[in-house]
Amino acid sequence: MVPKVRSFILSGIDAQVCEIEIDLDDTQLQKETVVGLPDAAVRESLERVRSAMGNSGYPMPRGRTLINLAPAHVRKEGPAYDLPIAVGVLIAQGVIQQRVPAGVGGGSGWNGGVGESSEELFGLDPRSVLIAGELALDGRVRPIRGVIAMTSLAKSLGLDAVIVPDANAPEAAVVDGVRVFGVSSLAQVVGLFNGGLELEPTPAVDVASMLESSRAGVDFGEIKGQESVKRALVIAAAGQHNIVMLGPAGTGKTMMAKALPGILPPLTPEEAIEVTRIYSSAGELEAGRGLISSRPVRTPHHTASSPAIVGGGIVPRAGEISLAHHGVLFLDELPEFPRRVLETMRQPLEDRVVTIARAHGSVKFPASFMLVAAMNPTPRGDVAPGEVGQQEMDRYLSRISGPLMDRIDLHVEAPAVPWKELSGKATGSTTAQMAEQVLGARSMMRSRQGATVNSVLRGRELDEMMSLSDSAQILLEQAMTQLGLSARGYDKVRRVARTIADVSGSNQVLPEHIGEAVQYRLLDRRV
Q: Are 170 and 206 in contact (CB under 8 A)?
A: no
pLDDT for residue 52: 95
Q: Are 91 and 194 in contact (CB under 8 A)?
A: no
pLDDT at residue 155 above 60?
yes
pLDDT at residue 271 above 50?
yes
Q: Are 126 and 1 in contact (CB under 8 A)?
A: no
pLDDT at residue 136 above 90?
yes
pLDDT for residue 239: 94
Q: Are strands 161-165 and 129-131 parallel, antiparallel or unpaired?
A: parallel
The per-residue pLDDT for range 486-510, each reduced to its tens digit, is 788 888 899 999 999 999 999 989 9
Domain boundaries, the chain: 4-194, 212-453
Whole-angstrom distance, CA of residue 377 vs CA of residue 400? 12
Among 303, 296, 289, residue whose Cα is nearest residue 318: 296
pLDDT for residue 469: 79
CATH topology assigned to domain 4-194: Ribosomal Protein S5; domain 2 (3.30.230)
The per-residue pLDDT for range 415-431, each reduced to its tens digit, is 888 777 777 777 788 99
SS3 per-residue string spanning 231-300: HHHHHHHHHCCCEEEECCCCCCHHHHHHHHHHHCCCCCHHHHHHHHHHHHHHCCCCCCCCCCCCCCEECC
- The residue that leads in pLDDT, 386 or 489, is 489
Q: Over pLDDT 70: what percentage of the chain?
A: 91
pLDDT for residue 397: 85
Residues pairing with 18 in the sheet: 7
Whole-angstrom distance, CA of residue 397 vs CA of residue 400? 6
The per-residue pLDDT for range 165-201, each reduced to its tens digit, is 999 999 999 998 899 999 999 999 999 998 878 888 9
Mean pLDDT of 147-160: 94
pLDDT for residue 287: 73
What is the architecture of the domain spanning 212-453? 3-Layer(aba) Sandwich (3.40)
Whole-angstrom distance, CA of residue 6 vs CA of residue 9? 10
pLDDT for residue 140: 96
pLDDT band at 110 (very low <50, low <70, confident <90, very high): very low
pLDDT for residue 8: 96
pLDDT at residue 106 above 70?
no
Query: What is the pLDDT of the chain when averaged over all its residues?
Result: 86
Q: Over pLDDT 90: what percentage of the chain?
A: 49
pLDDT at residue 99 above 70?
no
Q: Are 500 and 516 in contact (CB under 8 A)?
A: yes
Mean pLDDT of 213-224: 75
Q: Are 509 and 495 in contact (CB under 8 A)?
A: no
pLDDT for residue 387: 66
pLDDT for residue 428: 81
Least confident of 90-99, 216-225, 416-425: 416-425
The per-residue pLDDT for range 290-320, each reduced to its tens digit, is 788 889 999 999 999 999 999 887 778 899 9
pLDDT for residue 112: 39
pLDDT for residue 332: 92
Mean pLDDT of 37-58: 92
Least confident of 234-243, 355-364, 371-380, 390-399: 355-364
- The residue that leads in pLDDT, 244 or 59, is 244
SS3 per-residue string spanning 147-185: HHHHHHHHHHHCCCEEEEEHHHHHHHCCCCCCEEEEECE
pLDDT for residue 290: 79
pLDDT at residue 118 above 90?
no
Mean pLDDT of 317-324: 93
Q: Are 146 and 10 in contact (CB under 8 A)?
A: yes
pLDDT at residue 443 above 90?
yes
pLDDT at residue 438 above 90?
yes
pLDDT at residue 116 above 70?
no
The per-residue pLDDT for range 54-73, each reduced to its tens digit, is 999 998 888 889 999 999 98
pLDDT for residue 121: 44
Q: What is the DSSP letter of 104?
A: S
